[in-house]
Structure 1
């Protein structure tokens, strides 16, 4: 009871501080957002008690809105078993000079990771195969460019492994301005699904802060970063001073819950054409402090859009569409789309009865909604529905202008698409050079996966209202169409069968 009272009071205080001209629907949506992402929810980290509190809150709200449980054993939840490996202590130095873990560099964590490292370092530019002579047994520093015509991340790692190195240290490229590197990292841990096969690997994968390269190679770092960010030629050279590291890890089995609810459809002929609506409930929880704040609330990523699913259910009050809606609130998105992957591998209802997925993530109502970037826009009839609804609301629609960010595969629509189910998702778009772009870029530098993604961040309330209205209309159109969503014959994602 004490937790419920605290949540309610916190939500009410935030609503009282919200702009007085918020329309009732947006106000109700933000009230639920506040309940899910205020400090008492502790950032809803996967596998935490706080996450489970948030999951129970979502289930209660679904029940109050008249939805039916669609989880395991006739309940609201689907247990997702996972395995976690976390670094508990780290000491790293180069030539006796200490590096600050999570600020200067971080490391990928996994089974088979060595506990002690003592190796020479080689700087090898972009780590093309022609730059990797004599690196066997060493750790190779590579500039992490995203430029076309230069090795990408997979090619760099493959080349460094093939050359016999024991690890790769990738400089996070400050020249990648479409999604600039963010430091510090919250923590270093890996979480995998319990039924994923363990793949022990002694090869080390570090990420290095470009601003910290001088601690490794000295004053020449400034010129190297400038040249690498511009895609210019880079040298290869041995780094003086030994790289030494010592790691301590903790392993444990954890579990986290997907929350699953159904609004049955009114047309028996469309009963096996459910529209899945996905959003992820998990956040980062507690992590490395930023400006003195160590709680990563995850308000826009993605509590606000779990709240929008709840608000849709509340607005309908069990009034059916033609097709069923499957409300799919998943865990573990931030750890690798784990909840949605588990659901697709272990569905609580046949996947053959799911006609499409509409995913809510990557949404930032912090500047006017004039343009929507739409994932898989031309791959299914969902894109036609998006165009029709957005056009009626005066919102322009476009393809992803930054495919190098790989956003399509970074959210919970992707496991559904891999399973052959048409899916889509959205990003607030902007015109190049506009004030909206400035706001968007700034948020990715200072808000994305940071404690500053909280209830106090600046919002564009009209943009929030506009997107919510778009979403309600899109769901109605897709769920009530005479025909179910379908792949287009030209889609590269369309199953061959």
Structure 2
């Protein structure tokens, strides 16, 4: 039945992509002239030691901002940020828990109080909006904390309004798509769901969590709106009164006198059987948070559309401009240059902007080239832009995200993360077919890549989005590309070694740029807006 439903969705998607896109000769010529030397030079500048890892709030990040703006101006790309500006200013807030202030206790129905131990039983999640986070309420076990409208809900049969929810990390069996697993297992999504149900606090239990540092630095980052009343990011954004991570020993303890078998409940949950119930316990908690703020910016350029009507709609190309800055020395090097992550993605977008602006590629819809800040801090810049775009939110039709293309081997196949949820899959197929590339399913669903990059910010805002990653096809029968990528990632991902001395395949870079350009070009020149697949869970979020 599931295969039949998938086939029907594919057929519907093909019908939605009924208008064939032609690629004019001038566009073909511009694509053929993608300059890999220019791409290399972009990466080399952005990954230079003098930028010191492009950490938001530092001079190095500002140098990256200035560089992108200069490139936009040289190409004739128009400002697309705050009125008349290439930048969209935002305030980043760093929140740190004052460990000694953290208190938590359980009270049973007889009034007996049991104090919990910081680090042994629980760790608070920094509250981005309150200097003092606190609350008290009845504990309610809500399984995995998953709520899928019309299909499955851990909240069925329980009332959590004004109460504190306890939930497990992960998802029940039976959620097949890797993107959905990533979404529903995301702590941020679970906390948002708890808040929407009326909970005042949440406790997330991870059975594999081990507390290794008795005095951990508990830190988080968000973007604030100008009034500083709403926070934006992938994780906890302050909508609950408090949030905790807890150990398995905590869960075992609260089950002791509950009248429930923990082992049986866990077995039932894994099989998809709702096992939520209310504990005869009250949980109280409080902890202090210190906040510091600094300014950062997304950098936005615009290529105006040529159609009198469609030019008021926008296709967004995104890539994160930041990296992690200066860190622990490795082999005498403490600057984490981020050449692949994500100087290569920014360089790709700059070349795409050049194709549009200099190659006479006149899209019907307008195209925004958005370099976002603070992706490494939790998708902060893209979360802010998706919620507060520089153009009317309803006018954004799609997002094509570029993050760490991993240009280290010939590009023969691609993985379009997120495209399977909407008609964007047909745009991917069009572009891939044009370039002779194969389209694959995600070979590493366990990496949860769908929720770890900026397209996720657009998806949860109801905007169809995708992120093109490398596939595993190789033209060398004796070469295990999957193993090669994993070995490479262990050496370079978020490591000081990710500089220009690493492996780059600039022929693959050219193909990758052409592919992403063709995806956005086909979206921009198709009369119908991209649509979510019928019944898609992300589509229900709307604009």
Same fold (TM over 0.5): yes
Structure 1 residue aligned with 2:126: 110
Residue number among 287, 292, 300 corresponding to 2:340 in the alignment: 300
**2:51–2:61: 8 Å Cα contact kept in structure 1?**
yes
278, 284, 289: which is aligned to 2:329? 289
Query: What SS does structure 1 have at the residue aligned with 2:524?
Result: helix
CA 89–49 in structure 1, closer or farther in 2 if over 3 Å, else same: farther
> What does 1:5-16 correspond to in 2, within 5 Å?
none
The 1:409/1:53 distance shift into structure 2, 3 A limit, reads same
Matches within 5 A, 1:75-224: 75-85=85-95, 110-111=126-127, 189-194=219-224, 195-196=230-231, 198=238, 201=242, 203=244
The reply on whether 1:489 has 2:489 as its aligned counterpart is no
Deviation at 1:409, TM superposition (A): 1.6
Q: Which runs of 5+ in 2 are unaligned?
A: 1-31, 101-122, 133-167, 175-184, 192-202, 211-216, 225-229, 232-236, 248-287
1:322 touches 1:479 (CA, 8 Å); kept in 2?
yes
How many residue pairs were aligned?
379
1:34-113 matches, cutoff 5 A: 34-85=44-95, 110-111=126-127
Identify which of 285, 296, 307 aligns with 1:256: 296
Q: Distance in 2 between matches of 1:326 and 1:418?
A: 19
1:316 matched to 2:316: no
Q: Residue 36 of structure 2 contacts residue 507 of structure 2 at CA under 8 Å; is this kept in 1?
A: no
- Alignment deviations for residues 48-99 of structure 1 (CA, whole Å, 9 cap, x no partner): 2211221121111111111111111321111111211359999xxxxxxxxx
Question: Counterparts of 2:219 and 2:374 in 1: how far apart (Å)?
Answer: 13
Matched residue, 1:119:
none
- 1:377 matches 2:419: yes
Q: Select the residue among 328, 345, 348 that pairs with 2:387.
A: 345
Tell me: CA distance 1:29–1:466, structure 2 relative to 1, closer, same or farther (3 Å): same
- Residue 374 (structure 2) pairs with residue 332 (structure 1): yes
Q: Shift of the alpha carbon at 1:396? A: 0.8
TM-score by length of 2: 0.61
Q: Distance in 2 between matches of 1:188 and 1:444?
A: 26
Shift in Å at residue 203 of structure 1?
4.3
**Does the 8 Å contact 1:59/1:76 carry over to 2?**
yes
Could you give the per-residue CA deviations for residues 351-393 of structure 1, whole angstroms, max 9, x where no partner exists?
Answer: 1111111110142011221221111232222110111211222
Separation in 2 of the partners of 1:423 and 1:169?
30
Q: Report if aligned partners of 1:378, 1:491 keep a CA contact under 8 Å in 2.
A: no
Find the counterpart in structure 2 of residue 453 from structure 1. Answer: 498
Report deviation, 1:250.
6.5
Cα offsets for 1:115-142 (capped at 9, x unmatched): xxxxxxxxxxxxxxxxxxxxxxxxxxxx
1:406 corresponds to which residue? 448
Residue 450 to residue 145, structure 1, CA distance change in 2 (3 Å): farther
Compared with structure 1, are the counterparts of its residues 440 and 78 closer, same or farther at alpha carbon in structure 2 (3 Å cutoff)?
same
DSSP-derived class of the 2:69 partner:
helix
1:439 and 1:113, CA in 2 relative to 1: closer, same or farther beyond 3 A? farther
SS state at 1:72 partner: coil
Instruction: Could you tell me which runs of 5 or more consecutive residues in structure 1 were left unpaired when the two chains were aligned.
Output: 1-21, 91-106, 115-142, 159-165, 174-186, 207-247
Report the alpha carbon displacement of residue 113 of structure 1 after superposing the two structures with TM. 11
Alignment correspondent of 1:268: 308
Contact kept in structure 2, 1:70 and 1:76, CA below 8 Å: yes
- C-alpha spacing 1:266/1:442, structure 2 compared with 1 (3 Å): same
Closer, same or farther: CA 290–486 of 1 in aligned 2, 3 Å: same
Match of 1:213 in 2: none
2:437 paired residue number: 395
Q: Secondary structure at the match of 1:271?
A: helix
SS of 1:470 mapped into structure 2 = helix
Equivalent in the alignment of 1:416:
458
Distance 2:89 2:440 in 1: 37
